């Protein structure tokens, strides 16, 4: 399957990733090649084969609801690029 | 007198416990070594040669008696930088320790405060994708250290670390260990907690030891294994005493040699060296049989769907809000801020993988790519199940070639992906494997032997690896630096 530049631009938007024009050119060439290689999978008959998303059985783990130590606001916010009082600062979301 | 830095963890532990040496003396010795090698191997990142390495001294004594350990840059260490060698995590100081780090601290280990180099977010096989530049191979500094745990492997191989932790998603412990001539072990999925490992592909990632020999590998695995309440995928299987299997005879151990690993694509020199190693295992009493893993050729395509899909999801958390880089551009709305931040912060390989992963998960392509890959993953796992119904372990080369020159593959992502062809299936099947040194090419570059075992049978890996190691000189050889 081939992948158009428009599709890559759309996927980049979904991934919230800004690409420069030259990056888009390079990456679309590379992705075409990689997808061409990946397409060898379409040669396989996979009828009735179950999907494996996790190699071990995954269980919902519950533990006793006991209070424990947690981060202080200062610790939790220490790495924030922008801090507003006890919150993470972000650009205005609603005009 | 031999220098302290060149000794194994077990040798140093004995000296520390008998108070023949001190932690301070050991750190001085490591810094002496680093003075000579840090610039040529680039194993540590954010390293200040004037200040040198320091260690986070343990609060209380324990069975590891202050033995320093080097940690890969994607494993959280409380209060000192953990950046995944990415600009997008610049300056990130985790407010907590990864479970493996707290376990080691509790056992009395001293954490080295400068982290080991890696490909950005563990995306790569050479550390050329690190924002700090590539680590070099101590055996030939024109060649790569392998990746993604290339910093950990080159630090151990150049005696700039006593032992180290790496992480392995598609070969990132075993391949650099093979290329640098050291021992790298990827545990069974679920054997070691992933809490505090900055996630790349959550169904494939495992943390594991990179060490100078097999005995050290067993010791480090001992201290990091076990169920953890902070990782729901860690498994409650008892942790055996791994050192017990060292020295056990391998007579009668049944070894499978998969024919698909010795075909076109393998360097003939590597093939000869690995076949000689298999011959050695036979001399030591093992029985070998040709086996087949028929879906091997599909492992790389399956991996680059599953791993990138999971990565694209895991990396969505880097958006310039809670930590790391945020674009300085003014007047941006929220979505523009995300896009600019991520466009500025991620390197080329990270961008490729985010795009590929988002694509295979997107509407209209999900079934054709992602679901199909998960089904082929089942076939790959079943291949191993079949072989293990008759064999105790599988022996292969770790990598199709010895180390390659810096820049040789960095412009061709697909070529780079194929250098993981012998290690990737193991992650897809969730099983454990080890890489040990098994010889050198004519150019003097190390070659690795991979041993693969059934789930939670790390003892088989260590037993066979130790028997081989004791019968061969390779692990004791040191690069001239």
A42-73 b/e (C-beta count within 10 Å ≥ 16 → b): eeeebeebeebbebeeeeeeeeeeeeeeeeee
Question: Which two tokens mark B217?
Answer: 């590998």
> CA Rg, chain A, in Å?
23
Q: CB distance from B90 to chain A under 8 Å?
A: no
Of B172, B225, B399, B410, the active-site residue reads B172
Model pLDDT for residues B131-186, shown as the tens digit of each residue: 999 999 999 999 999 999 999 999 999 999 999 999 999 999 999 999 999 999 99
Q: What residues of A are in contact with residue B343 (Cβ under 8 Å)? A: 17-20
What pLDDT was estimated at residue B411?
A: 87
Rounded distance between C-alpha atoms, residue B270 and residue B448, angstroms? 9
Q: Do A34 and B414 touch (CB under 8 A)?
A: yes
Rounded distance between C-alpha atoms, residue A56 and residue B370, angstroms? 19
Q: CB distance from A9 to chain B under 8 Å?
A: no
| Closest residue to A88, CB basis, from B300, B322, B373 | B322
Among A14, A15, A30, A48, the residue to mutate for chain B (most B Cβ within 10 A): A15
DSSP letter at B310? Answer: H
3-class state of residue A8 by DSSP:
helix
Is B443 a known active-site residue? no
CB atoms within 10 A of CB B44: 27
Q: CA nearest B305 in A: which residue?
A: A38
What pLDDT was estimated at residue A55?
A: 84
| Closest residue to A51, CB basis, from B190, B334, B371 | B371
Written as tens digits, the pLDDT of chain B (481 aa) is 579 999 999 999 999 999 999 999 999 999 999 999 999 999 999 999 999 999 999 999 999 999 999 999 999 999 999 999 999 999 999 999 999 999 999 999 999 999 999 999 999 999 999 999 999 999 999 999 999 999 999 999 999 999 999 999 999 999 999 999 999 999 999 999 999 999 999 999 999 999 999 999 999 999 999 999 999 999 999 999 999 999 999 999 999 999 999 988 899 999 999 999 999 999 999 999 999 999 999 999 999 999 999 999 999 999 999 999 999 999 999 999 999 999 999 999 999 999 999 999 999 999 999 999 999 999 999 999 999 999 999 999 999 999 999 999 988 888 888 889 999 999 999 999 999 999 999 999 999 999 999 999 999 999 999 999 999 999 999 999 8
CB atoms within 10 A of CB A32: 16
Question: Which two tokens mark B89?
Answer: 């995590």
261-280 in chain B: CB under 8 A from chain A: none
């Amino acid at each position: 399957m081939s992948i158009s530049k428009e599709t890559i631009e759309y996927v980049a938007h979904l991934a919230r990733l800004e690409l420069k024009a030259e990056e888009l050119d390079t990456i679309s060439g590379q992705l075409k090649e990689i997808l061409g290689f990946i397409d060898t999978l379409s040669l396989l008959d996979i009828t009735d084969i179950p999907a494996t998303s996790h190699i071990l059985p995954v269980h919902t783990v519950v533990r006793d609801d006991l209070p424990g130590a947690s981060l202080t606001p200062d610790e939790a916010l220490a790495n924030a690029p922008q801090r507003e009082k006890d919150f993470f600062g972000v650009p205005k979301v609603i005009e | 007198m031999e220098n302290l830095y060149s000794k194994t963890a077990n040798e140093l532990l004995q000296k520390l416990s008998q108070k023949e040496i001190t932690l301070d003396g050991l750190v001085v010795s490591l810094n002496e070594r680093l003075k000579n090698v840090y610039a040529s191997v680039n194993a540590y990142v954010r390293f200040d040669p004037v200040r040198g390495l320091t260690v986070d001294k343990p609060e209380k004594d324990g069975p590891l008696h202050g033995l320093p350990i080097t940690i890969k840059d994607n494993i959280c260490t409380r209060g000192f930088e953990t950046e995944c060698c990415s600009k997008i995590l610049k300056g990130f100081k985790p407010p907590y320790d990864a479970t493996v780090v707290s376990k080691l601290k509790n056992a009395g280990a001293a954490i080295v405060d400068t982290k080991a180099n890696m490909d950005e977010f563990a995306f790569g096989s050479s550390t050329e994708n690190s924002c700090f530049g590539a680590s070099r191979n101590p055996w030939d500094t024109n060649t790569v250290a392998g990746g993604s745990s290339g910093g950990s492997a080159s630090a151990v191989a150049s005696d700039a670390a006593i032992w180290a932790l790496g992480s392995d998603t598609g070969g990132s412990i075993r391949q650099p260990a093979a290329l640098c001539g050291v021992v790298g072990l990827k545990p069974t999925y679920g054997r070691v907690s992933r809490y505090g490992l900055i996630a790349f592909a959550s169904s494939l990632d495992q943390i594991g030891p990179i060490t100078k020999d097999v005995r050290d590998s067993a010791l480090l695995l001992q201290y990091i294994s076990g169920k953890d309440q902070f990782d729901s995928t860690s498994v409650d299987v008892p942790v055996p005493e791994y050192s017990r299997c060292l020295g056990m005879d391998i007579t009668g151990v049944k070894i499978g040699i998969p024919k698909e690993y010795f075909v076109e694509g393998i360097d003939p020199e590597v093939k000869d060296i690995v076949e000689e190693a298999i011959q050695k295992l036979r001399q030591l009493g093992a029985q070998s049989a040709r086996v087949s893993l028929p879906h091997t050729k599909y492992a790389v395509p399956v991996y680059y769907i599953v791993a990138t899909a999971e990565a694209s999801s895991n990396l969505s958390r880097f958006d310039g809000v809670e930590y790391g880089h945020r674009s300085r551009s003014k007047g941006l709305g929220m979505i523009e801020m995300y896009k600019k931040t991520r466009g500025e912060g991620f390197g080329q390989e990270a961008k490729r993988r985010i795009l590929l992963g988002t694509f295979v998960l997107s509407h209209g392509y999900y079934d054709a790519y992602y679901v199909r890959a998960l089904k082929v993953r089942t076939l790959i796992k079943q291949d191993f199940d079949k072989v293990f119904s008759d064999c105790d372990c599988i022996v292969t080369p770790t990598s199709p070639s010895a180390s390659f020159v810096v820049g040789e593959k960095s412009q061709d992502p697909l070529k780079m992906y194929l250098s993981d062809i012998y290690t990737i299936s193991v992650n897809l099947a969730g099983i454990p494997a080890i890489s040990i040194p098994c010889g050198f090419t004519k150019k003097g570059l190390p070659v690795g032997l991979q041993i693969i075992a059934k789930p939670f049978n790390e003892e088989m890996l260590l037993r066979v690896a130790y028997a081989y190691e004791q019968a061969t000189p390779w692990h004791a050889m040191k690069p001239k630096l």
